[in-house]
Chains A and B, each alone.
Chain A
Amino acid sequence: MADKKRFTPEEIVKSFKDEFKAKIKNTRIERRTKGPSKHEFVHIWMKVDKSIFKDSVKHLATLQKYPHLAVASGNDLGKTIELIYHFSIYYGVPLGEISINISVELPKSKPEIETICDIIPGALITEREKQEMLGVTIKGIPDSRRVFLTDDFPEGVYPWRKDETGPQKLIRNLHEVKK
């Protein structure tokens, strides 16, 4: 951790671009200041191609041995499903932590992505959640059971989807229920 040189946000983005060239898109460094003394904090956002997703996490692990994975969130963007992995590195350094958000888009026809549990074992629960909530397939996941949904929840319904596979059918509006 402390044994390695700490990169600035620009250097981090550059190292990703050098490594993966055109497969990294939409990089954005978001700087905000907080508090009376205007201390800065940095959120880096980047979109990676699905073919290099796992390599990009491996690359992140070279910057810090154990990148902290907070959670993965997801969006249904119509034709594609977007997964966003929220990492943070350089924690433990006062005011030095950098959040890195890596997003990856998967086509709805074949929503598959590789597991990162072998790099970050703590990713298991969030990967299981993405499987049940967004209907993506995590290849090589050590445990593919459901985590939050009950076992009797219908197959093929994914609560975070906004299309016909979404939860609309299951919703009962109280004002429409006849007495």
Chain B
Amino acid sequence: MKTKQTTKTTYHIPIGPIHPALKEPVAFEFEIDGERIVDVDVSLGHVHRTVEWTATKRNPIQILYLAERICGICSYCHPTAFALAVENIANIEVPERAEYLRVIQAELERICSHILWAGVAAHEIGFDSVLFLTWQIREKVLDLTEYLTGNRITKGIITIGGVRRDITKEHHPKIFETLNYLKDNFEKLRKVYLDDKTFRMRAQGCGILTKEDALKLCAVGPTARGSGVKKDVRVDQAYFSCADLDIECITPDVLTGEVNGDVYDRIIVRLLEVKQAIDLIEQCIDKMPAGDIVSEPKVAKVLATLKKASGEGIGRMEAPRGEVIHYVKLVEGEEYPFTWKVRAPTYNNIMPWVPMLIGEQIADIPIVAASTDPCMSCTNRVAIVDSGKKYELNKEELHRLSVEKTRRLMA
């Protein structure tokens, strides 16, 4: 008797280049077996704007403002990493006070970024009331950023050799008011994210990245720390005044005593880092010595020094999403840098997506993809190609699947 031959087929689902979980365009191609993801392919480059090439036609001070526009959320760390690299090459000493001011700005950005992410993560699983709550809190921090730097997003605060605006005694009441507001609301956030039953159901055991994989695939930032890899540039390598502050690398076992490397662990790491950032700002204000805020306030003089400088250097700092590293090569007599290479943290967190997503369900894609906090944007549509027939899943549809899964789990 002839047995009917069955071949197991899998579906291919392209997601992106524009997607709700991704705040920047990136395209995925998923291989799906039923509801399970079997394989993932990521393609990048949809917003390649040749920033690095443009920089070879700009002088270092102009590059600071160009670097700021690489990313809207990390608008502080890119110019800072560039400044650090240039300072290393030209041997520019930064005044002590400026080192503390730089930490304050970096931590403010971390709070904004992590709270923004927390809102997006809540939205991904259909918890929109929490999205509004977190963004309301973030608004206060943005107000403080505006108060201290003059701008909410592109702050223009960093310069080569220091910072451009001081924080004086008059600023203190507003800073402490905002920090106290954050502390009051932190408990509320902690309850929602860590104790809520729905959150735990969606986040625990989902999107697991093992420590081994995190190390092999060179993951950085909260993604690596969520898997128990102790890696934080602030702790590992002294930059700014971080070595003088009481700062520890946060891994999820601090709170729960164990590391699973799932979405929940990455939530823990980010939440605790918000608390850590509040603490660091307080420490900085407390310890900050009086003095200059920039080594050379005259821009023309800085540029003249840099024109004479020659050599190559790297600048590394811990951005909200992980290590950011810039490589700069300056040639003597040239106004513009010879090479500038920017490496944003998401670059290294692309590969860890693959082990995270394999084995998960379609409805888990948004939350897992969002859990690395990719620097990316909002979905148009997903097309499911099913043996020649083409279905299109739009953003709302995918979001609905995710929300429905939450409802199913709650029932």
A interface list, Cβ under 8 A from B: 30, 32-37, 39-41, 43, 45, 65-66, 68-71, 73-75, 84, 86, 88, 90-97, 99, 101, 120-126, 146-150, 159-160, 167
Contact = CB atoms under 8 A, between A and B. Distances in A.
Given A65-B215, A97-B237, A121-B351, 20 more contacts: A34-B94, A34-B241, A34-B242, A35-B96, A35-B240, A35-B244, A39-B244, A43-B313, A68-B218, A68-B231, A71-B341, A86-B343, A95-B235, A95-B236, A97-B233, A120-B218, A122-B348, A148-B45, A150-B45, A159-B50
A33 B53 CA distance: 31
Given A124-B351, A159-B50, A35 B314 contact: no
Interface in B326-366: 327, 329, 338-339, 341, 343, 347-348, 350-351
B217 A94 contact: no
Given A35-B244, A70-B323, A71-B347, A122 B45 contact: no
A41 B348 contact: no
B127 interface: no
A68 to B, nearest CB: 5
A36 B351 contact: no
A43 B314 contact: yes
Nearest to A99: B314
B166 to A, nearest CB: 17
A122 B240 contact: no
Contacts of A74: 339, 341
B46 to A, nearest CB: 8
B329 A75 contact: yes
B214 to A, nearest CB: 9
- Among the interface residues B44, B99, B242, B314, which one has the most CB atoms of the partner chain A within 10 A? B314
Interface of B: 43-45, 48, 50, 52-53, 88, 94, 96, 99, 215-219, 229-231, 233, 235-244, 249, 289, 312-314, 316, 323, 325, 327, 329, 338-339, 341, 343, 347-348, 350-351
B218 A69 contact: yes
Sorted nearest first, the 8 A-B pairs with minimum C-beta distance are: A122-B218, A148-B45, A97-B236, A39-B243, A73-B341, A39-B238, A92-B230, A71-B343
A64 B81 CA distance: 26
A43 B87 CA distance: 14
